[in-house]
Amino acid sequence: MKKFTLILTISILFILSSVFYLQDIYKNREAYKEKLIRFHVIANSDSREDQALKLKVRDKIIAYLSPKLEKSQNIEETKKIIKENLKNIENIASQEIKNNEKDYTVSANLGYSSFPTKKYSNIVLPAGKYKALKVVIGEGKGKNWWCVMFPPLCFIDINHGITDKKTEKNLMKVLTKEEYKMILVDNNEVKLKFKLLEIIEKIKNKHNHYLAKKK
């Protein structure tokens, strides 16, 4: 009986320590997510024409925003610039759509969007909600394109090609060493953590969905 009680106690302590450990990781992940802004362009459909149009719209928007955002010193400044230019972004996208003889509507907004786990150069950004400039073309039912807008990795990627060193240099300007280490691709410990965090995220979303249905 004493042996069983000891094993049970150890098991409970192990489970509790694991939960607290994951909660700490989750908090750290949420902290660095708030230091990034992503750029999200969603095509009208998966047709070849619509996917090509998505990239043309992307290029026009990046060409417009690049000189405005490349020298942004912090995320708040970037948010301000994006918000002030949302209407211009929509107009630029609409004009490119018309130039390609389509009559799709387009919307641009800065808010939180859900993303799956994505690899970007030598980093992996886990699934979850991120602040993002989201541009939706037409029905928005096609495959999407995304990049990191702050720090301005989009502009490096499009203009010069992304590299591990460029990614690290830009991310280290806004992330701590610990936060950057968390998202490195070759960090096996991080991969396991993110897998566990994805499970937590799914459980959390299902729970929120269940509560919303009960209201």
CA angle, residues 30, 124, 56, in degrees to nearest 5 = 105
What pLDDT, on a 0 to 100 scale, did the predictor assign at position 16?
A: 41
Per the domain annotation, does 198 fall within a domain? Answer: no
Distance between CA atoms of residues 32 and 182, nearest Å: 10
Encode the chain (215 residues) as per-residue pLDDT tens digits. Answer: 555 454 545 555 445 444 444 444 444 556 778 889 999 999 999 999 999 999 999 999 999 998 898 778 889 999 999 999 999 999 999 999 999 999 999 999 999 988 888 877 677 788 888 999 999 999 999 999 888 888 877 765 544 445 556 667 777 788 878 777 777 766 555 555 555 555 556 665 665 665 666 65
Per the domain annotation, does 106 fall within a domain? Answer: yes
What pLDDT, on a 0 to 100 scale, did the predictor assign at position 155?
A: 63
What pLDDT, on a 0 to 100 scale, did the predictor assign at position 26?
A: 47
Enter the tokens of residue 104. 């799709």
Enter the tokens of residue 166. 């460029």
What pLDDT, on a 0 to 100 scale, did the predictor assign at position 20?
A: 43
What pLDDT, on a 0 to 100 scale, did the predictor assign at position 210?
A: 57
What pLDDT, on a 0 to 100 scale, did the predictor assign at position 9?
A: 52
Domain assignment of residue 139, given as a range:
32-178
Instruction: Give me the number of domains the chain comprises.
Output: 1
Could you give the dihedral angle defined by the CA atoms of residues 177, 178, 179 and 184, in that order, rounded to the nearest 10 degrees? Answer: 90
Per the domain annotation, does 24 fall within a domain? Answer: no
Per the domain annotation, does 192 fall within a domain? Answer: no
Enter the tokens of residue 40. 């999200």
Per the domain annotation, does 78 fall within a domain? Answer: yes
- Say how many C-beta atoms besides its own lie within 10 A of residue 176's C-beta: 13
What does DSSP say about strands 118-120 and 123-125: parallel, antiparallel, or unpaired?
antiparallel
Write the CA distances from 195 to 29, 72, 124, integer angstroms.
13, 33, 12
Pick from 164, 211, 208, 193: nearest CA to 21: 193
Distance between CA atoms of residues 198 and 202, nearest Å: 6
Distance between CA atoms of residues 154 and 87, nearest Å: 20
**Full-prediction pTM beyond 0.85?**
no
What pLDDT, on a 0 to 100 scale, did the predictor assign at position 19?
A: 46
Helix (H) / strand (E) containing 147 = strand 144-150
Per the domain annotation, does 163 fall within a domain? Answer: yes
Per the domain annotation, does 193 fall within a domain? Answer: no
